[in-house]
Structure 1
Amino acid sequence: MFTDPSTSDRHATAADGARIGFDSVGTGEPLVLLAGQANSRRWWDPVRADFSSSHTTIAPDWLGTGASDSPRDAEWSTRRFARDVIAVLDELGVERAHVYGTSMGGRVAQWLAIDHPHRVGALVLGCTSGGGDGTVASESDVIPGLSRDDSRETLADLMVGPHWRQSHPGQLSVLGDPCMSGHARRAHRRASTWHDAWAMLPYISAPTLVLHGTADRLTPSANGTLLAERIPGATLRLLTRARHAYFLESREDSGSTVLEFLAAHPLKRAD
């Protein structure tokens, strides 16, 4: 039986000495929640309780976000971020955990399953891509739109649709950590853009669920299809009309799908 080690902020130490902030909430089998590019663990705030009711949710802050350090001379890559997650698990004494990564967090989750297969139970990859030859680029107007003065509004529109925003007033949790430095933001963008695990994806042995919104213009849903085809035995679930932050727009549907998948692959079961 897994129990919640702590509900307060903690830090792990990465291989290069950087401090990685994280917290742990809930009870049950451990579930690592990995946020998107340039976001801290606050990314998960609106839906975290859905998982903490049945799992010990462990949410790290990426390098440069939240309570983590932001060293200028560090390695910034999705593969390095995966090693930082391992440092968090080591700090907690967790030998094996389920992993749910979205957007850039899904790219990091791929490296966790590739480089540290014995530490990963079930794997959930949301609104993400495998990189390299397995990437379907966003539409030509999407990335330039994020460089305009109204980029925050543009990003919000890519994350969720207008009807959802009207019924959920207030600040979106998925628009980036406002305390990040410019250097850290650029480093995150490079890490996510240069991610390439495509050649290694067939070596993933963890039971894998791929989730993607069909109306995702930031990371088109074809990326989810390619991931599911590339990872042996992966299950694909497309969420109709959901945008990049499908876990907000289709909270009930996606949340129940993830929980059912995790329940079907308990950590205690021998693989």
Structure 2
Amino acid sequence: MDHSSSSTPRHRTVETTDGAMLAVQEGGPADGPPLLLLSGQANSHDWWTGIRDHFEGRFHTITFDYRGTGASRAVESPGWSTTLFADDAVQVLESVGADYAHVYGTSMGGRVAQMLAINHPAAVEQLVLACTTPGGTLAVERDNNVRRALAQKDSHARIAALLDLMYTPAWYAPGRRSHLLGDPDMSARAQLLHLKVSGSHDAVDRLCEIRSQTLILHGSDDRMAPVVNAHNLGDAIREGRVDITAGGRHGFFDEFADAVSAQVIQFLDHGL
């Protein structure tokens, strides 16, 4: 499937209780089972371009731009956290008339999804966590070589390094574009705040509270979030199953979207 295009979503704006204005996007049948898709760090809903097409034949897909990304508007605050972003997600679901939803969170979105399932259990039906970590003492972080590659001052070298962390060499083709490389319109402060949101996440002591059946997906060759994190999540979540995509890197859910999305749909339909 070509992931360079996607169906046109329906747009709305949601005002949160603290005055943030969140841009929300919906796709698929409005009366279909709601499916909340949570993006990675420093990315807007564009993260799901092409991927959401796999689900919109049957599911009512819901995305939103995190504070600091896309068309959302919010005061840039050090109080941003995965807990706050999970609270935002609940208000988004309420705005579209969904009392609960299936939730598919990737990378930082998987951390937000954990807090959503912990703090708002009634809002989460089935849970999918992909290429993410539990934070805290159970998290196994990227190594210093990865950190140095992502901190390069030369933007072309930095993007090349990020692409290599996201995709295998087989992904590359003339004109192919990734939607996983960050929101280019974010302010520098918002980018730093997102880094803090992701880095300060710690659900370790509360993962046992997750009651939703949980499918935990990861690429075997992920250097951004090493694959051991998937197994740590699987050990800590009561009804969790871990499935590893051989050879997959951090963007495995995009590179191998046909197979991974089919796996997600199978889980949403039939459970573990």
Query: Which bin holds the TM-score, normalised by the shorter protein?
Result: over 0.9
Aligned 8 A contact 1:34 1:105 in 2 = yes
Matched, 1:154 2:172: no
Query: Where do residues 19-98 of structure 1 align in structure 2 (5 Å cutoff)?
Result: 19-27=21-29, 28-73=32-77, 75-98=79-102
Query: Where do residues 220-239 of structure 1 align in structure 2 (5 Å cutoff)?
Result: 220-239=226-245
Aligned-partner Cα distance in 1 for 2:17–2:236: 31
Aligned 8 A contact 1:22 1:61 in 2 = yes
Equivalent in the alignment of 2:261: 255
Query: Where do residues 165-180 of structure 1 align in structure 2 (5 Å cutoff)?
Result: 165-166=172-173, 169-180=175-186
Aligned 8 A contact 1:13 1:19 in 2 = yes
Tell me the SS of whatever aligns to 1:238. strand
Tell me the SS of whatever aligns to 2:55. helix
Tell me the SS of whatever aligns to 1:75. coil
Aligned-partner Cα distance in 1 for 2:167–2:47: 14
Matched, 1:163 2:170: yes
Correspondence for 1:182 among 158, 170, 188: 188
Equivalent in the alignment of 1:118: 122
Deviation at 1:170, TM superposition (A): 2.6
Aligned 8 A contact 1:131 1:194 in 2 = yes
Tell me the SS of whatever aligns to 1:122. strand
Aligned 8 A contact 1:46 1:173 in 2 = no
Tell me the SS of whatever aligns to 1:16. coil
Aligned-partner Cα distance in 1 for 2:185–2:175: 22
Correspondence for 1:241 among 239, 247, 250: 247
Long gaps (5+) in structure 2: 1-7
Aligned-partner Cα distance in 2 for 1:78–1:104: 8
Equivalent in the alignment of 1:14: 16
Runs of 4+ in 1 over 3 A off after TM superposition: none
Aligned-partner Cα distance in 2 for 1:79–1:99: 15
Aligned-partner Cα distance in 2 for 1:196–1:251: 28
Alpha-carbon RMSD across the aligned residues, in angstroms, is 1.5
Matched, 1:139 2:146: no
Aligned-partner Cα distance in 1 for 2:16–2:135: 25
Tell me the SS of whatever aligns to 1:118. helix
Aligned 8 A contact 1:213 1:243 in 2 = yes
- Range with bigger deviation, 147-156 or 180-189: 147-156
Deviation at 1:7, TM superposition (A): 4.2
Equivalent in the alignment of 2:5: none
Long gaps (5+) in structure 1: 1-5, 266-271
Matched, 1:104 2:104: no
**1:150-179 deviation per Cα after TM superposition (whole angstroms, max 9, x unaligned):** 21111111111121113x733210000011
Matched residues, percent identical? 41
Deviation at 1:198, TM superposition (A): 0.8
Aligned 8 A contact 1:214 1:239 in 2 = yes
**1:159-218 deviation per Cα after TM superposition (whole angstroms, max 9, x unaligned):** 11121113x733210000011000100000000000001110011000100000001000
Tell me the SS of whatever aligns to 1:57. strand
Q: How many residues align?
A: 260
Aligned-partner Cα distance in 1 for 2:176–2:257: 17
